[in-house]
Structure 1
Amino acid sequence: MRIISGKLKGRRINPPKNLPVRPTTDMSKEALFNILNHHFNFSELTILDLFAGTGNISYEFASRGAESIVSVDGDYGCVNFIKKTAKEFDLNIVPFKADVFKFIEKHKTSYDIVFADPPYDFTQEQFEKIVTDILNLELISEDGMLIIEHSKFTKLEHLPHFSFEKSYGGSVFTFFEFEQEEIEDDEDESEYDEEDTWDREEE
């Protein structure tokens, strides 16, 4: 596993072979971060990495200077490896051992980027639940992005807030964003409600 860019560029990280993971390939990871380079300034980003596995994606964000990274996985071995690696390289990664679905339900913080790489054998319904839960619970900020990695056999483009998708070999990255028009409409409605309440109080 190789870090593509940033302060750890070229560094190889070797996780234990017994971890129950399927790391994102270097080719796919490089393509993903080339896309993100055109959308974000990494030094200002807050990141939530779900189904983090070995921490592959978290390390890449940390190497590029992301402000903070939270990594969540349900496997003790994965979380301990992320914790050990983050300490070794002095990376601002906070790992959590948790069931991802339960973590999503209870978490109240929003992030600039939420990345999720569930097991490819998850059902279509499980993938859809991840997307809808993250969006409905407002875990991404107004200008943020949700990225789901999945196989070509899973289809997510029909879900609300779908933006685009990119395929690399057998892997697909599907991107979700809140459109600016939706954000402006929400703000307008909020302003109207406040004015309406004020008028009623004056009466």
Structure 2
Amino acid sequence: MRVISGEFKGRVFNPPSNLRLRPTTDRAKESLFNILNNYVDFRELKVLDLFAGTGNISYEYISRGVVDITMVERDPKCVAFIQDTLKKLEVTNVDIVRTDVFRFIDDCPDKFDLIFADPPYSLSRIQEIPTMIFQNGLLKKDGLIIIEHGSRITFDEEENFYRKRNIGEVNFSIFRG
């Protein structure tokens, strides 16, 4: 796993092999951030990373200048890896919340400019994520939600759906607030 752009470009982090995750590929990350470059100034964003896993996507946000980021991950081994990686990067402006994502969405009082969710592709409640975010008011006006998912899932009929981008087996559905 490596950071593809920004301050930490080229830094490589190797998550422990006992973390059974599917980190976003470099190709998919590059495509995602090429899209985002057209919409946002990273230095002005308040970002929420749901299902943070290894922190792969958050490191890209941090590397590009995001100074306010919240990462939500339930797995204690993943949280420990994230904490260790942030220490190596000497980054302190990140809140890590170890909890269930759906509980977090229901209880969070904050609003975010950009919300990224990379749930397990087999998650049975994946279709609920954008609706819950909007219903609970987590997205600021004109904000973006990006959900990474497999090809069998479609959000095209969901309210506030904006566009979908396919990169191989990876799909990003984007919603606008």
Matched, 1:98 2:99: yes
Q: After superposition, where does 1:161-172 map in structure 2 within 5 Å?
A: 161-172=160-171
One-letter amino acid of the structure 2 residue matched with residue 129 of structure 1: E
Separation in 2, partners of 1:93, 1:57: 13
One-letter amino acid of the structure 1 residue matched with residue 129 of structure 2: I
> What's the TM-score once normalised by structure 1's chain length?
0.85
Write out per-residue CA displacement over residues 10-52 of structure 1, whole angstroms, 9 at most, x where no aligned residue: 1111111111311000000000000001101111111100000
Separation in 1, partners of 2:111, 2:132: 13
Report what 2:117 is aligned to. Answer: 116
One-letter amino acid of the structure 2 residue matched with residue 138 of structure 1: G
Partner-residue secondary structure (3-state), 1:173: strand
> What's the TM-score once normalised by structure 2's chain length?
0.97
Report what 1:85 is aligned to. Answer: 85
Partner-residue secondary structure (3-state), 2:103: helix
Matched, 1:173 2:168: no
Q: CA deviation at 1:96?
A: 1.2
Separation in 1, partners of 2:97, 2:105: 12
Q: CA deviation at 1:90?
A: 1.7
Query: Quick check: which one's helix share is greater?
Result: 1
Q: After superposition, where does 1:30-179 map in structure 2 within 5 Å?
A: 30-91=30-91, 92-123=93-124, 126-178=125-177
User: Cα RMSD over matched residues?
Assistant: 0.8
Segments of 5+ residues of structure 1 without an aligned counterpart are 179-203
One-letter amino acid of the structure 2 residue matched with residue 33 of structure 1: F
| Misfit runs of 4+, over 6 Å | none
Higher relative contact order structure (alpha carbons within 8 Å, sequence separation ≥ 6): 2
Partner-residue secondary structure (3-state), 1:69: strand
Separation in 1, partners of 2:121, 2:102: 16
Segments of 5+ residues of structure 2 without an aligned counterpart are none
Q: How high is the sequence identity, in percent, across the aligned residues? A: 46
One-letter amino acid of the structure 2 residue matched with residue 146 of structure 1: I
Partner-residue secondary structure (3-state), 1:71: strand
Contact 1:58 1:93 in 2 (8 A): no
